[in-house]
Structure 1
Amino acid sequence: MPSIRLMRSFNTYGYNSEVRQFWSNKLAALPTDAPYGETNHTLGKCGLIEALADHPRAKDAKIIVLRRDLAKQCASYINRHDFSNISLLWQWYLDPQYPNRILKSEPFLKLGQVGCAIWYTLEMECRQVYYQRVYSDRLTFLPIQLETVTREKAASEFLTELGIHQKPVLPKKKNANQISAQSELVEQIAIHIHNLNFNPEAIVDDYIASGRDLDLMQDQRAA
């Protein structure tokens, strides 16, 4: 697990020497015959994809792109007050003030914690699109939808894509949000996202066309 400092470094400066060295050491420590390794979602916001794309294990890797209904996802963050403490943003999410980002956060910040949660939800959707667009020639991405992969048929198909040929086991939820997302809040967020005309594909197109990327900031390339 990278430190908060390392995560802040990547999301401020990009895939710099400090982040590069961390992943070089981490990937080198993996056993060559290890059939399976699990990461948590924070690693995908700290240079893991960039490091893996240039690593010999890239051909063996399968990147799971987990998606969920955006409004419900965002409502869960808000109900848990996940964006009420800056240290939580640094450790688990993203600080909207980070310079290394795809989606501009300023229009969302006037809505306070709610706006911050919406921005993060949409930023991560953009990053998912971005990584598939930039690295699909070197890495295998498996997009899945949370609402369907938790059902037996979709779960079985997903395991097959991973090369696992066995019947899926679907245990009852143990870590579900204890505060259910109110339908009214979900509906309001869904309307807000709709009114934004949110199009992650177009946003990523513009981002890449501008010469920017998450690997290296514009001012560093110019230098």
Structure 2
Amino acid sequence: MSWFKRTASPVTPTVDLEARRAEREALVSAIARRMALDRSLGLPALSDRVADALRAIPRELFTPPGVAARAYRDDVLPLAAGQTLSQPSLVALMTELLRLQPGDRVLEIGVGSGYQTALLAHLGATVFGLEVIADLAQAAERRLAALGLKGVTVRVGDGHAGWPEAAPFDAILAACAAPMVPPALVAQLRPGGRLLLPVGPAQGPQQLCLVEKGLDGAVRERPLLAVAFVPMVTR
């Protein structure tokens, strides 16, 4: 099994964080408006913390060169190996739904290009990222290093199994759909934790589901909204 580990010490960023800042600001404003409209569905508004993370992370760094010009549209973008980079408004919503606090331990399944990983790390989470495609995992690790982010460990692995050696987690987030909530992930969630993942068939209707584990260990699953994600692949 392959591992790629970011050290806990900060690294000097090697990318221009000022480039396209105005575009990032415009995207944050558009996301805030969209999420405000979705409050009627019981979904959260965009918080200052998540908005600041969106401003800080250059999304163009996490897109293939051929689509970098579209980095600040609220669109799904293609990645290698048939994978995708979720639209920023959905990334922001999923981040808000986790209710993260600095120091929380987060399992991320489907690291992809590393954009969601970067946002979680910027919020102060300790992130354990799983990516089934080795080339994507390695490229994501290089991008995270270029931003000087810390507290992130990425490995190649099957999301269905989770990461038992690093459990329990305060939050688990999956950017790929499973036909049902994997029992291993529920088991690795600490009492009081939250698991967010798309549930449904690869080519059929999917629901973004929030799974909450009570302090007494009781588990509640709640569908939130219709989504379309690539499937969670088994190695």
TM-score w.r.t. length of structure 1: 0.28
Q: Larger C-alpha radius of gyration, 1 or 2?
A: 1
Say which structure is richer in strand. Answer: 2
TM-score w.r.t. length of structure 2: 0.27
